[in-house]
């Protein structure tokens, strides 16, 4: 049974929407802006859908478009996100140990947002267990360069998490 292109695209988005949400979360802090970014990424994926030839995995292609859309959006609409994040942190103070995991996750997201655009993309894919080969293909660098950069990014995040 063959699907029409629209149905194939809808199925693709349904199956991999988590990938798009992760990109949005790491590149935008405001919920409305994240929703706008999600829609923009889906639009860009649709515009490019007919060009996907299967030379790479579909997720590699999706990451490339999602990351390019998020990064170009950041460049167009630079905001003072750091100030907003610091203000938000004051409201997330909790004495409950059950919230520790959630707080650590929020802190990790804040730390990741402080990384460069490329570092954010790389760590997000690594957290998604994307093989270094695919990260290299998506970012456009060698696998060895991915290994070196990932070690540096991990060290940077460890320091940031411990401060």
Tens digits of per-residue pLDDT, 123-147? 988 888 889 999 999 888 999 999 9
Q: Taking the C-alpha atoms of 26, 28, 33 and 35 in order, what is their torsion angle to the nearest 10 degrees? A: 0
Residue 15's CB: how many other CB atoms inside 10 A?
Answer: 11
How many whole angstroms separate alpha carbon 98 and alpha carbon 8?
Answer: 41
Helices (H), the chain: 5-27, 31-49, 58-76, 81-91, 100-113, 117-127, 132-139, 143-161
Domain ranges of the chain: 1-79
pLDDT of residue 92: 40
- Nearest Cα neighbor of 158 from 117, 89, 114, 108 is 108
Q: What is the mean pLDDT of each run of 10 residues along the chain (163 residues)?
A: 78 93 88 91 93 86 92 61 41 47 81 91 88 90 94 93 86
Architecture of domain 1-79: Orthogonal Bundle (1.10)
Stated pTM of the model = 0.63
């Amino acid at each position: 049974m063959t699907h029409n292109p629209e149905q194939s695209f809808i199925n693709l988005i349904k199956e991999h929407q988590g990938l798009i949400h992760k990109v949005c979360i790491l590149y935008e802090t405001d919920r409305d802006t994240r929703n706008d970014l999600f829609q923009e990424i889906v639009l860009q994926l649709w515009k490019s859908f007919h060009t996907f030839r299967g030379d790479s995995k579909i997720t590699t292609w999706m990451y490339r478009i999602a990351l390019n859309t998020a990064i170009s959006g950041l460049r167009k609409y630079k905001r003072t996100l750091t100030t907003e994040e610091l203000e938000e942190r004051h409201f997330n103070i909790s004495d409950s140990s059950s919230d520790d995991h959630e707080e650590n996750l929020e802190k990790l997201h804040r730390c990741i947002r402080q990384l460069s655009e490329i570092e954010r993309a790389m760590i997000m894919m690594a957290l998604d267990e994307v093989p270094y080969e695919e990260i290299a293909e998506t970012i456009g660098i060698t696998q060895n360069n991915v290994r070196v950069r990932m070690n540096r990014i991990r060290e940077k995040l460890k320091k940031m998490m411990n401060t």
